[in-house]
Amino acid sequence: METFLVVINIAILLVFIGILFYMQRKHVSFSKRVFTGLIIGIIYGLGLQFVYAEDSTVIDSSVQWFNLVGTGYIRFLQMIVVPLIFVSILAAFTKLKLSQNLGKVSLIILVVLIGTTVIAALVGIGTTIAFDLEALQIEQGEAELARGESLENNYSSNIQNQSFPQRILQLLPANPFLDFTGQRPTSTIAVVIFTAFIGIAFLGVRRKEPELAETFAKFVDSIYAIVMRIVTLILRLTPYGILAIMARTAATSNLDAIVGLGKFVIASYVALIIVFIIHLLILVGFKLNPVTYLKKAFPVLAFAFTSRTSAGALPLTIQTQKSLGVPDGTANFAGSFGLSIGQNGCAGVYPAMLAVMIAPTVGINPLDPSFILLLLAVVAISSFGVAGVGGGATFAAILVLSTMNLPIALAGVLISVEPLIDMGRTALNVNGSMTAGLVTSRVNKELEADIYTDLDRKIEVQA
């Protein structure tokens, strides 16, 4: 009987996939197909949980098949992330227009990323205080205690005992080939640093031996074109991937835990929404229409929300910026830097909220100005090197908590609602990267306003 029910669930998912495929054949816009997949996935997942229990073996078995579509899609995106970061940054260096303003472009992107992260941390602090959240208010069950113990065992010796200079050294690529495999939490920024060295070397060669540099630039352009073609092929799967991911998430979410920790979930989303609004206000300050931005940014934000991976969203992040009139080079830099530097949700809001929640457990007043100033400084510095994949927020939180001499085991208190909160954090991370790209282009007067306002220039991926 169980096998029969699983087959029925899979068949229903295939029907929904067929509907999305039919919409694609009828040339329905990409954003509409993404939105349709998102809504259908939520409704179908909740329906499964209504028919079966959350921990039902039928749901468990069905989700494993759903993962062939959802997780398979994420893995395809992750497959292309490191090559895309590498070739995108190199391509940015080979473009004459960008290379002349390289220092200025990089500086503005970093200032926006780090600045908004500090603002995000401040919002997180204020929200936590406003909602009167404390870690001791949460009843810790077996899952929370096990998570806390795991964090202590896995990170206490690797991170907590390292000095700050040692942590800085972890960002540097001692073996770039190892970092290309993503084996370290700081592999992403290490790849960025390694690629930047190659780009700077290219600029030096171009001044002395322009013919050799031109050959290299053509090679980079060719590789970039091939990588972007791969990206296009993968992006065609986005509506189907979001459908399966959302169905899995809705079907397996612990609704009782969400209700029990509703105050913490609401506080987290209030903070995330406030920072998101701040991003829009920044765009308004640079005379950019936020409504136009939202219409074009929806597909990538929806994917980041459902997939919980900033790295997996990188291709969409870069493509979306281009559809908004951001030059190729700036879009590449902003997207790539945003994966490991200044993630507003994972490295800003989340660590700050945890630190304020945990501080009272060790007798620290979270309202003390010296504590708040120190926390903001630590968040800003620790935001370098946060991995743009699942678990990046935990890594950032542990860096902040250990530096502030706060118990890292209590970082596991929200484990039961972690996936739900992480969805919003990831979407905010991606939004921060795109905001940095837009602001940088606007400041450098390189933003193509006609493309920004053209609603027909959205991400469109047709078969």
- 292 pLDDT more than 60: yes
CA distance 406 to 351: 11
CB 330 within 8 A of CB 440: yes
Mean pLDDT of the chain: 82
- Both tokens of 436, joined, read 């940095």
Listed in sequence order, the residues at least 6 apart from 362 whose beta carbon sits closer than 8 Å to its beta carbon are 405, 406, 407
For the segment 46-60, what is each residue's pLDDT rounded down to a tens digit? 888 888 876 678 888
- 112 pLDDT more than 60: yes
Residue, of 433 and 411, whose pLDDT is higher = 433
State the helix-helix crossing angle for 328-340 and 57-94, rounded to 10 degrees.
Answer: 130
For the segment 7-46, what is each residue's pLDDT rounded down to a tens digit? 898 999 999 999 999 998 888 877 788 888 888 998 998 8
How high is the pLDDT of residue 463? 42
Selection from 37, 9, 12 nearest residue 23 by Cα: 37
- 351 pLDDT more than 60: yes
CATH of 2-453, one of 1.10.1740.10, 2.60.120.200, 3.30.930.10, 1.10.3860.10: 1.10.3860.10
- 122 pLDDT more than 90: yes
Give the pTM. 0.80
When computed from its CA atoms, the radius of gyration of the chain, rounded to whole angstroms, is 22
How high is the pLDDT of residue 246? 86
How high is the pLDDT of residue 413? 61
For the segment 157-213, what is each residue's pLDDT rounded down to a tens digit? 555 566 667 767 777 888 888 888 777 767 777 888 888 899 888 888 888 888 898
Q: Which of 64-73, 177-186, 212-221 has the lowest mean pLDDT?
A: 177-186
Going through 168-286 in order, the beta strands assigned E by DSSP cover none
Residue, of 409 and 461, whose pLDDT is higher = 409
pLDDT band at 460 (very low <50, low <70, confident <90, very high): low
How high is the pLDDT of residue 80? 82
Q: What is the mean pLDDT of residues 128-140?
A: 75
How high is the pLDDT of residue 434? 95
Listed in sequence order, the residues at least 6 apart from 314 whose beta carbon sits closer than 8 Å to its beta carbon are 77, 81, 84, 85, 335, 336, 339, 388
CB 109 within 8 A of CB 340: no
How high is the pLDDT of residue 187? 76
For the segment 191-200, what is each residue's pLDDT rounded down to a tens digit? 888 888 998 8
CA distance 279 to 283: 6
Burial of 23 (0-12, 13-18, 19+ CB in 10 A): middle
Q: Where are the alpha helices (DSSP H) in 2-56?
A: 2-25, 30-51
CA distance 428 to 422: 10
C-alpha distances (whole Å) from 458 to each of 30, 453, 455 are 8, 10, 6
Beta bridge partners of 384: 341
Amino acid at the residue 158: N
DSSP state of 186: T
CB 293 within 8 A of CB 324: yes
- Both tokens of 199, joined, read 């780009």
Q: What is the mean pLDDT of residues 223-241?
A: 86
Going through 98-215 in order, the beta strands assigned E by DSSP cover none
Q: What is the mean pLDDT of residues 208-237?
A: 87
- Can you tell me whether residue 341 is helix, strand or coil? strand
CA 94 to chain CA centroid, nearest Å: 27
Residue, of 263 and 282, whose pLDDT is higher = 282
- Both tokens of 294, joined, read 């939202």
Residue, of 39 and 412, whose pLDDT is higher = 39
How high is the pLDDT of residue 440? 93
